[in-house]
């Protein structure tokens, strides 16, 4: 299975019909996530362009934050899927650094916002 995917192939795709955009994005997101997981499982995670990973992470963080603000507080990974601690910790640490935040600030925000 070819798991390589160019970000330009997604951005150059023709715009969907009005009203079909969300359904199209839902389908594309499932397909893209499956391809990325397969890439990781094949040991080819480093073959994806760093800028592509950054663009995806940026978009997903903005999306997840907007949904949280809209009171959609679902877990970030599908139920029944195990996720190892190391990738979570690496990602959280990098995200905190990118936002110039300390772990203490995360704990304070959780306490103040009641999101624990």
Q: How far apart are CA 91 and CA 8, in angstroms?
A: 25
Q: How far apart are CA 40 and CA 34, in angstroms?
A: 10
| Neighbour count for residue 53 (Cβ, 10 Å) | 13
- Determine whether 35 is exposed, middle or buried from the number of CB atoms within 10 Å of its CB (0-12, 13-18, 19+): middle
pLDDT in tens, 49-71: 999 999 999 999 999 999 999 99
Q: For residue 33, give the nearest of 94, 41, 71, 80 by alpha carbon.
A: 41
22 CB-near residues (< 8 Å, 6+ apart): none
pLDDT in tens, 66-110: 999 999 989 888 887 788 999 999 999 999 999 999 999 998 988
Prediction pTM value: 0.75
102 CB-near residues (< 8 Å, 6+ apart): 96
Q: What is the structure's pLDDT at 78?
A: 86
């Amino acid at each position: 299975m070819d798991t390589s995917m160019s970000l330009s192939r997604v951005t150059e795709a023709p715009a969907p019909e009005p009203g079909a955009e969300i359904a199209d994005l839902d389908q594309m997101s499932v397909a893209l996530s499956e391809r990325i997981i397969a890439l990781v499982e094949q040991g080819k995670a480093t073959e994806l362009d760093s800028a592509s990973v950054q663009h995806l992470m940026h978009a997903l963080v903005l999306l997840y934050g907007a949904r949280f603000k809209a009171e959609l507080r679902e877990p970030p990974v599908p139920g029944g899927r195990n996720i190892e601690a190391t990738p979570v910790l690496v990602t959280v640490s990098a995200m905190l650094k990118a936002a110039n935040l300390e772990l203490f600030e995360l704990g304070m925000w959780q306490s103040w916002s009641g999101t624990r």
